[in-house]
Every structure is written in structure tokens, then in C-alpha cells.
Amino acid sequence: MNIKEVKAGNILSKSKIYDWTINPYVGCQHGCFYCYARFMKRFSSHNENWGEFVDVKINAPELLAKEVNKKKKERVWISGVCDPYQPIEEKYGLTRRCLEILQASDWPVVIQTKSPLVLRDLELLKKFKAIEVGFSIATGDEEIRKIFEPKTPPINKRIEALYKLHQAGIKTYAMIAPLLPKAEGLASDLKGKVDYVIIDRMNYNYADWIYKKYKLEKIENEEALADLFREENISCEVV
């Protein structure tokens, strides 16, 4: 793993999904084979494979402390093209330091991760007036997870983290993106642990070779899965 400390020019970027996004890191140690963020390699000097490098924006908190006073206060998505709680966060704590600044300035936040490390910051998250924490969970089957995203935390650990956050009064959600085989069991597994679910119908073509290698079929009926969540009284949207 190539870890490099860098200095960014700015940290709050406009987003097409939420108003702003913060990415404390470039690259992601999870290295999911399907990840859409692989396109980031085009904007870096890295020759390594996706998942084998991370640039650490060591000045992210200092930049944010200045930018929150200059830019319009709107929802911030943490993160758009990296997991803010990937393993390197345990050492550098950039996500936490950015959250402390956003909380002190009363900015609304949406966190998206695959890591139970987010529980480290539970007491801080409880101080926000407006915050949501979501976990990306693409399948309900551990063997499928190991094929597509072998470096990520187990599914049950993510669901346990969602439950703890939900019980603590944090608004929680699950993002099923991409929709991988054997996701049906998530409907019952997530009951009582999330406020809503989003299913992404986007086709993640980077992992097409895995479907061929393991002779798997892509799931194309997102609405059928959404109906399973609705049967469990979980609000679900296909986007």
C-alpha cells in the first residue's frame, strides 16, 4: 500500500448528489472491484492498481475551518470518492477532525461508509442537529462480498454498526450500490436498523469480468427488491 501525505488546495467541493462533498483521502484501501471511483486514477500520478494507494490530505481540517466561514451552509456528503472510515482514518483522524469543525459550525452532514470505525465517533455524531449515517451494503451473502469486495468489513459488522447508531438516535440508511447477487436477505436483516434504503440502478461495469469468471448474473429487477423492503415497512427508493 502506497500511503502519501499531500496538501490539497480546497476541501469543500460541489456535488451532484448533495450540496457539498468532502474527501479527506484520494484512493481507498477497500479497493472494491466494482467501485465507480476508480476513475480518480485519471486525475492522479498513480500507476498502482485501485486499492493499492491512498493520498492523505493532511491539511483538510485547516482548509475546512476556513471554508465553512466563506461558503453557503448546506448538506455535506462525507465522502463521494473514498471511504471516510477506511483503515488509514484510524491513524490520521482526518474525518473526525473535519466532523468536529462541521459540528461546531452547525453544518448538516451525510456520512457514507462501509466501516464500523464510524462508531468511534458516536458521541460526536450525537451532538449534530442534522446528521445521517449510511452504510454501503451491496449483498446479504458473505461469499459474494468476498468475491467483489474482499478487503471490506463483513456484512454483519456493518449491520451491527447500523443498529448501534440507530439505537443512539442517529438517522441511518443503507445504500445498495451496486445491487449484487443475493441481496434479498437484507430486507429482513435491516429491519429496525435503518430509517430508509436506497437502491442504485447504476450499472457498475468495472466488475463485469467477475460476473463472467464466476458465472453470475446481474440483478436487474431493483423494484422487486424494493418491494421486499417495503413489506418490512422500510422506506425504499430506487435511484
Do the beta carbons of residue 140 and residue 133 sit within 8 Å?
A: no
Q: Average model confidence (pLDDT) for the chain?
A: 95
Which residue(s) pair with 198 in the sheet? Answer: 175, 237
Cα gap 81→77, rounded to integer Å: 10
Q: Are strands 109-113 and 76-78 parallel, antiparallel or unpaired?
A: parallel
The more confident residue out of 96 and 202 is 96
- pTM for this one? 0.94
Predicted pLDDT of residue 48: 85
40 — pLDDT class (breaks 50, 70, 90): low
Q: Could you give the percent of the chain with pLDDT greater than 90?
A: 87
Q: What is the mean pLDDT of residues 82-88?
A: 97
41 — pLDDT class (breaks 50, 70, 90): low
Predicted pLDDT of residue 220: 84
Predicted pLDDT of residue 237: 97
Phi, then psi, of 78 in degrees rounded to 5: -125, 100
Q: What is the mean pLDDT of residues 140-164?
A: 98
Q: Which of 27-41, 111-125, 214-228 has the lowest mean pLDDT?
A: 27-41
Q: What is the mean pLDDT of residues 212-231?
A: 94
Which residue(s) pair with 77 in the sheet? Answer: 21, 110
Cα gap 137→177, rounded to integer Å: 7
pLDDT higher than threshold 80 for residue 32: yes
Q: Half-sphere exposure (CA, 13 Å, Cβ side) for 114?
A: 26
Do the beta carbons of residue 94 and residue 56 sit within 8 Å?
A: yes
CA distances from 195 to 25, 169, 174, 198, 231 (A): 28, 11, 9, 10, 14
Predicted pLDDT of residue 114: 98
Residues 6+ apart with CB under 8 A from 230: 236
